């Protein structure tokens, strides 16, 4: 009997612990391993800015449909409200009634319809290049932020390893203090080093959280999801700046930059608008067919009407002048953008070259050798072969060297992405 009761309580406790475990698992944030290609796929499919700009592009395309439509004919009818002779309302009989009707059609001259179609087509092209330029900018922000977050997470791993190692050392040193083998000041120094690393790690985690928030907004990932970024080593290995000549990069920028195409398309739009405004100076005519029962001579009058406004005062002078100014302004803006493009490509190329020369000049085994050496330093400090000051100096040097190496790797990847950005093409994958 006692055994059955004990087994019952054990089973009950097991279910309770299982429920707590499931509840804890439900409360724990999801961790998503995310590579750069996966992030780009989510970005293209779910980025709200791109979706909104896509809708604007579709609206611009709808303007072409509107421009192709002809004006609707107009129908007008009139009848007498009250006949005082017959004392009847709406008298329409042939003997005593009266009514008239007309059908009119506006005919646009000077090729206004075709010119408006070309203007709407240029507007749709303008919206498309706005979409592509937004895509170019947001893609660069996404990729740059991805690498920045990835190397920040590598720095966070360094802090985690150092804090864990020093906490073990601190625990061992506390035991040695009780045995009288080390001084209190040495223990305090180790504590101070641990607290300093924990403070730096906390600040780094806050920065990583901000960077992850930007990534989540760009890819529409749920806010509660924790991102663990995964970088493809081949991206760094395949990046070879020396194989790309500056002239080729400049030519690629001139051919592919969406913002340059946007300004050129803007000039085309302004030129088409000028043609439309010049055509608007030519008056349109309205042709009408009229039937009148009795109020005209002769009765059963059928007439053909023509309405033409006389362009004596308003010949659309103001809009024509504005359109000409827009063309000239677009050409000046194009010259300015071409100069900006050349400077951006030159600056990005020089920056990437300096970063690449620095990276290639480093010893590739430096990090691995340093990792091995730090283990020996900790062992020697525990064996009291080196002083605490020497240990702390080496530990700080190890941390700073690793952080600088990660920062250089980020700058190298970011320089690659900036060249892709300023050339408007995928020079480096």
Tens-place pLDDT, residues 262-294: 999 999 999 999 999 999 999 999 999 999 888
Separation between Cα atoms, residue 402 and residue 371, nearest integer Å: 9
**Average pLDDT of the residues of the chain:** 87
Reported confidence tier of residue 235, pLDDT bands at 50, 70, 90: confident
Separation between Cα atoms, residue 241 and residue 314, nearest integer Å: 61
Burial 46-55 (b: 16+ CB within 10 A, else e): ebeebeebbe
Reported confidence tier of residue 366, pLDDT bands at 50, 70, 90: low
Reported confidence tier of residue 190, pLDDT bands at 50, 70, 90: confident
Residue of higher predicted confidence among 148 and 8: 148
Q: Is the pLDDT of residue 42 over 80?
A: yes
- Whether the CB-CB separation of 272 and 114 falls below 8 Å is answered with no
Residue of higher predicted confidence among 183 and 373: 183
Can you give the pLDDT at residue 10?
32
Q: Is the pLDDT of residue 120 over 90?
A: yes
pTM here?
A: 0.83
- Which DSSP string do the residues of 80-125 spell out, in sequence order? -SEETTTTEES---TTT--EEEEEEEEE--TTHHHHHHHHHHHHHH
Can you give the pLDDT at residue 365?
67
Place of tokens 């930059």: 257
State the DSSP code for 411: H
Q: Is the pLDDT of residue 18 over 60?
A: no
Give how far Cα 178 sits from Cα of 181, 193, 380, 387, Å.
8, 20, 21, 19
Residue of higher predicted confidence among 384 and 232: 232
Q: What percent of the chain has pLDDT over 90?
A: 62
Q: Is the pLDDT of residue 17 over 50?
A: no
Reported confidence tier of residue 116, pLDDT bands at 50, 70, 90: very high
Average pLDDT over residues 389-404: 85
Separation between Cα atoms, residue 411 and residue 429, nearest integer Å: 16
Q: Is the pLDDT of residue 1 over 50?
A: no
E strands, 231-310, are: 285-292, 301-307
Token digits of residue 39: 């992030």
Separation between Cα atoms, residue 384 and residue 186, nearest integer Å: 12
Q: Is the pLDDT of residue 254 over 60?
A: yes
């Amino acid at each position: 009997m006692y055994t059955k009761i004990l087994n019952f309580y054990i089973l009950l406790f097991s279910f309770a612990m299982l429920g707590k475990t499931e509840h804890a698992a439900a409360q724990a944030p999801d961790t998503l391993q995310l590579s750069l290609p996966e992030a780009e796929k989510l970005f293209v499919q779910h980025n709200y800015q791109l979706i909104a700009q896509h809708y604007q592009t579709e609206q611009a395309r709808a303007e072409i449909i509107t421009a192709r439509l002809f004006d609707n004919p107009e129908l007008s009818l009139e009848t007498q409200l009250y006949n005082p002779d017959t004392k009847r309302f709406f008298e329409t009989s042939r003997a005593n009634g009266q009514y008239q009707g007309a059908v009119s059609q506006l005919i646009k001259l000077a090729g206004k319809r075709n010119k408006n179609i070309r203007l709407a087509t240029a507007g749709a092209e303008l919206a498309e290049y706005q979409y592509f330029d937004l895509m170019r900018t947001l893609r660069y922000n996404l990729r740059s932020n991805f690498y920045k977050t990835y190397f920040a997470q590598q720095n966070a791993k360094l802090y985690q390893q150092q804090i864990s190692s020093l906490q073990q050392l601190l625990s061992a040193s506390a035991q040695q203090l009780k045995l009288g083998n080390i001084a209190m000041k040495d223990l305090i120094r180790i504590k101070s080093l641990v607290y300093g690393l924990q403070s730096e790690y906390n600040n780094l985690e806050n920065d990583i959280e901000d960077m992850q928030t930007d990534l989540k907004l760009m890819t529409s990932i749920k806010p509660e999801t924790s991102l663990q970024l995964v970088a493809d080593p081949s991206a760094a290995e395949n990046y070879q700046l020396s194989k790309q000549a500056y002239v080729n990069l400049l030519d690629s920028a001139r051919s592919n930059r969406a913002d340059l195409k946007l300004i050129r398309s803007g000039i085309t739009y302004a030129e088409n608008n000028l043609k439309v405004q010049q055509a608007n100076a030519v008056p349109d005519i309205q042709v009408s067919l009229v039937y009148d029962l009795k109020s005209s001579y002769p009765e059963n009058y059928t007439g053909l009407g023509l309405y033409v406004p006389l362009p004596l005062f308003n010949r659309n002078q103001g809009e024509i002048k504005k359109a000409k100014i827009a063309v000239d302004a677009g050409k000046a803006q194009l010259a300015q953008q071409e100069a900006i493009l050349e400077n951006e490509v030159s600056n990005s190329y020089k920056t990437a070259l300096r970063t690449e020369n620095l990276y290639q000049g480093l010893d590739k085994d430096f990090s691995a050798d340093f990792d091995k050496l730090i283990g020996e330093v900790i062992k020697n400090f525990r064996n009291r072969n080196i002083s605490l000051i020497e240990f702390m100096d080496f530990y700080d040097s190890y941390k700073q060297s690793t952080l600088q190496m990660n920062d250089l790797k980020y700058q190298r990847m970011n320089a690659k992405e900036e060249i892709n950005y300023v050339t408007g093409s995928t020079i480096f994958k």
